[in-house]
Structure 1
Amino acid sequence: MAYFHLKLVPPRPSFPHDATPEEMTAMQAHGAYWHGHAETGVAIAVGPVFSEGGAFGIAVVEAADAAAAQALGDNDPVIKAALGFRFETSPMPSIILRRSAAGAAAAV
């Protein structure tokens, strides 16, 4: 298994502040989709980032390869809704994870 960073690029820099009802519906399905992947352990971290240049989303995932990571993005309901969102997928050659319940930091 390998780790990947997925960046969800919204359709415009002003998103989500001017989101349409259709976009908000797609984003609700997007949240449910990634919540499910977090529960199964595929998604390590998922969430919005509000930067000075505009908001975007991130997901750090564990997948067999780049194609599997890209498939996670391609199957996101917000992408399937064809509203102008897109994912940028990048490999992460290593990752440091926070301490587990056992107390040891994991690095792979």
Structure 2
Amino acid sequence: MAGSETPREATRSIIFHCRLIPPRPDFAFTMTEEERALMGRHADFLREKLREGVMIMAGPVADPAGPWGLLILRAGSEAEARAVTDGDPVARSGRGFRYEILQLLSVIM
């Protein structure tokens, strides 16, 4: 029934803070051309997740200890969030990127 369907956002109610840790602290400043191309594929992947309604926002964080990537996801479980991060081209690249995933306890939006 068309009127009784639940919007995707309503069924995916858990918000996750995902921190993408690069392979080295100065990565943002010392990327090779190959790494720059990989980051382009990473950005394309995230744009697709935004279109799907899974990603809320993403971007690099200017941490004095070394920049890292912030990804805010909406997912039904940590396993679903992990499936998104595991599918990211940087995570699959074998170049030492890794994600830390933390569930937000509450959200004001």
Aligned to 2:5: none
Give the Cα–Cα distance (whole angstroms) in 2 for the partners of residues 43 and 36 of structure 1. Answer: 9
Q: 1:87 aligns with which of 89, 99, 107?
A: 99
1:79 Cα deviation (Å)? 1.0
Q: 2:39 aligns with which of 27, 43, 65?
A: 27
SS of residue matched to 1:26: helix
1:74 Cα deviation (Å)? 0.5
Deviation string for 1:17-41 (max 9, x for gaps)? 0011221111100000001111221
Question: Which of the pair is proportionally richer in strand?
Answer: 1
Contact 1:23/1:83 (<8 A) preserved: no
Aligned to 1:69: 81
1:95 Cα deviation (Å)? 1.1
Aligned to 1:106: none
2:54 matches 1:42: yes
Unaligned runs of 5+ in 2: 1-12
How large is the Cα RMSD of the aligned pairs?
A: 0.9
Aligned to 1:4: 16
Aligned length: 97
For 1:91, give the aligned amino acid.
Answer: Q
Aligned to 2:63: 51
1:82 Cα deviation (Å)? 1.0
Show structure 1 runs of 4+ deviating over 3 A.
none
1:94 Cα deviation (Å)? 1.3
User: Normalised by the size of structure 2, how large is the TM-score?
Assistant: 0.85
User: Normalised by the size of structure 1, how large is the TM-score?
Assistant: 0.86
